[in-house]
Chains A and B, each alone.
Chain A
């Protein structure tokens, strides 16, 4: 038998049809794990396999859709081995596809399953099913989970792999993945990609149409026989089904089959189509693009890369990365997105931190709050690979230089994950001074990229900005190099802009002028600070001038809006009033007071803390309710931001409190409220996040020497993890006081699991902290001696 890869190279292949709905039709009791029947009643499945083989399917899928270890536990390996054998014996001469469905759990950060756990579930399945001829990963909704399955298949087997996701009318999966993002991310890791389930054959058409234009890989389509009614009956008959399959084939689809509700009759019709039609050539229209799991950014115009998530020369970012204050990183991401960035550069290059771990953590957190694609800014191959593994999309790797070492170590990683890459025009001889030297290095990198399997359109050449204060002639050479490389290759260009004006006054003027010139020279992706309005204005003006912004519509809508009138009367109120009312003007008022000479500490102790205490008392007395308390905390935070700007780093350092939502729990609303409130009392609050491993919490508390740790849990099932965390803390950090809170906890329960204090609300946490760190009296009972 030919390898399946060769088999699908020039023909239309036919897969089998439904399994689950056939069982239902045969009135087989399936319960919570239908695949268990492989062990107890294998004849049920062999009958179905034989029927599909007789109907003319080229490929028979094993009865293993839900047999992965996450769903079938210890039975998993036995079921999978038996199912592959059963399919082989029932359908001799056919290709046997190891069928792998979702784990039924959501990966981090939305759920608690880690990438490694998901990977391991699929690794086990791939190993157990190694006697199959190919691997079919299907009905996937989450690109993160699909990638875990794909990588597990790739790294633990040589079998051909097919990746199929399930889309809805809105052209997205349940987790919001769009067709282009799926194609860009999955195609480099799979031998064929496609869609199945969820919709009938008619509704899948527009999705299939889009997909066939977006990939050079063979496309598979396995629709449902329509949507089921409440009794589980499907309405699309074999003839109607086949009429749509013909249309798929005309669009260039290579593999057709059926999902829920289809029968051997449907497959027989597909066989006729495969035998009577020729395979259409690939319909791919190449499009240079990168993506996150939910947004594709196509380079059919200028796209802005935000540069702010980078500690180089940024005191606040350095401090945030050292402290592990990822909230600051997340805020930077959202600010840049709102200011107009299309892609975010992510850099963790600080000598005194673990760059790899920090980069991975940032990639994980940023994906949770922003849909913008990321640019991994790092030159260490192992850190790049770790970040790309954690990234659920097609990233840009920034960057590879012209050095052979760099090319040989970084490009294979870029190729494996199907990323794009920045080609930095430097090599061991340093920064080139001539246009020709820049081009020579660029050509070398582009050729090496091709050799490693990275196509030209995924290379982003950086012709390097040098400082005109030192080398004035270089500005023109950079622009000329952009022009040349764009005319010679189908590559994109990137350029960090602001370096041009280093050391000069009124830098914004030089930066804007240089940015405009570079855009006219052919710059596709400027790397800049989008929070500086002049930068975004220069890009918007260019788009209006060159015609990319048709009828100047975007420019007009962005800049014709009248500026918001300032809330003048708010400024006249006292700081106490502004905080207690939760008004954002509190920030400006603080800046005003500081400018007028009020000492920062006097402001904190004399105004901020008393205002917060007053609103805290009001909350306890029931004078205000939760949203009002939190609004005050939000306003106070703005004040602290102003104060921090004016205080030397060391003097802002407060007492450390570590907070975490315990392992297994993703419900972190209570913990987040506590964090917001505590941070305003000047404490150094370290938020470890949600679903934090027991060992991690203990290790972080120890490392930071924290005297107070707050743990939250919402679920009864995760309280045992809280107890385990407390036990570890008692062992490793005997001096740390532990306070606990969360919906399922009571004072008794907190005592039982060994906590020091039970917090019924955020105000209790504040009083406990004041007791521990400032010796204030506390009216809450200590639960242990």
Chain B
């Protein structure tokens, strides 16, 4: 026993498990907060994936941030066909994450690439004319 323990502020106030909010782990069912009953279903045009458990319905509320796009979106679409207890579901999502980063870097770099390519083309044409 730590000899200074009893001097610690609040020592032992929650010693009785009945004083602890998480006891018992599962309480008698009751609505929480200001919930009035089953919520309504969110309406959205965003593409949202539901994992591949056929018995499970789309939940009533969902996030719509960063909808899928490009090749990474295709990989995610495929990954979500598999249930989430299959390894391939998660490994494909991790792969899609890396592809997503590469796609974004490419998109950011595209204007510069395009400008560079245009400069080379114009430069090439000018050089040919000068030599001619």
Q: Does B bind A? A: no
Using a CB–CB distance below 8 Å, which chain B residues touch chain A? none
- A residues touching B (Cβ–Cβ < 8 Å)? none
